[in-house]
Structure 1
């Protein structure tokens, strides 16, 4: 319908043949709207106007299975490469696999900040190459190369003739993000430390990269270096070093670790680790079991000897009685 320059549309259905409804009976659906009969160019009068607000919903996020199905439908990848594709987008930090809700078993892919930024830049500067149709066509061409119906050199030449100008344009025009400063000095070269983003998220790096390759994680502070004490290990004679445990306490440990496990506290008292303590207890139990086996074996031997002696004595007595009887 047209009115004052605006077009109005309506959708619905009109039953022309009841078909299976003859068996199942009348079918009602809240979604189906039966429209009255209209003639073309017919003039109608508006009785009532209703304005309903409606928000369009975004497509549902991909699960692993749905993503593989979408790749298959678009002709991207092969059954042997689907697992690698899914692993790669996660390893590079483009997406994370998260549950849809607490207690749910279903996991969906959610784009990360790095993934969104990468997609935006690729779409802006490499739109002709980074798209579904081009990728599917390239997959098909690679199959033809494997079958011998297409030339490898010609395919590569065609790709680089298109890719090289796009790469140069992106290098010249893509804005470079200013690196956020940490406010610390690099311990290796004295340069300024900055935040960078890698495949595993943010990390701290030297601003003089690649000349200086100092890096460290943000949440984990640097470990304190062991301090020499001049004191010797009573077990192996190596020097004891002052170390910091993961709980923040200090202790003296042998510099010959892991060959020597000697430790002591700052007061000079020996520290026995749980591992060494368990090992010592196991050795003690094994020694006790071995001793018990030897004792049992000796006792059995004695019993056997006694039995044999008794048997011999009985035989001897019987023989004596028989001899006396014969003499009589």
Structure 2
């Protein structure tokens, strides 16, 4: 169905002795109803859809003097704030993918798991999917340099091609060649032309009062980080992880400098191993020897004390003991999300 065509008009009205006030009136008129005609005919409750779309402005000319309709009535001021669209939940994101013709039931769950596993989004306490700093940088990069690939229409068309291939109506080799050859050429070209600095989008925050060196934030190998100094300095720059509670785009100089107060040595465990608190790629944690234990949401590595750290460690060790079925040294049998599995080094079976 053809899209509707709507003509929109804006009138700017200047007022005041020095024309220091600007008022705006907006109107619109349906030129061609398109899909709206069908919508109004098939929805009894929305039978007035077309007429409601029309907001007719009075006829005026440029430079015309306008009179205030009721000069006895004072002009009232009201400030309105537009609410941003709500964040997606996992369920509403699946619904959006379905409506756009992207993916299929077998790919929805893996897609949502992947963007969380890679740290592109995180689940809030309200079960909303919130983009992380890494997710925003990756999205901006793809939108700037791989516009066609991240276009919803392109992705939906690929899905339709897969359906035609499954029915035998299209050759998969030809389809993949048409896609991959220009895509590969673009990857090679971007690898040469796009600098690392452009991708990382370093943001300068100010100057460290102690050293007088610049303080900046950017994306590093292990996620968002704070940097004091530059690689051109005689001394190596100092780095600290930016906690997930802070965002690259709005973190302040003071907040960034607080990151260098970590790691904090809290004390020793009963076996003499050191206990410390720090911020990492996936949030704040307590470290005991080579083991890491996540600090619950709402608590910070900057102010956690030894007693609380011991509680977190004990809880973590208890969970770990239930996870290990058998330990044969280099090989372990573990309880996983989908049942028992074998782990040897970095390999999982």
TM-score range, shorter chain: 0.3 to 0.5
Under a length normalisation based on structure 2, what TM-score does the superposition of the two structures give? 0.41
More helix by share: 1
TM-score normalised to structure 1 length: 0.43
1 or 2, which has the higher strand percentage?
A: 2
Greater CA radius of gyration, 1 or 2? 1
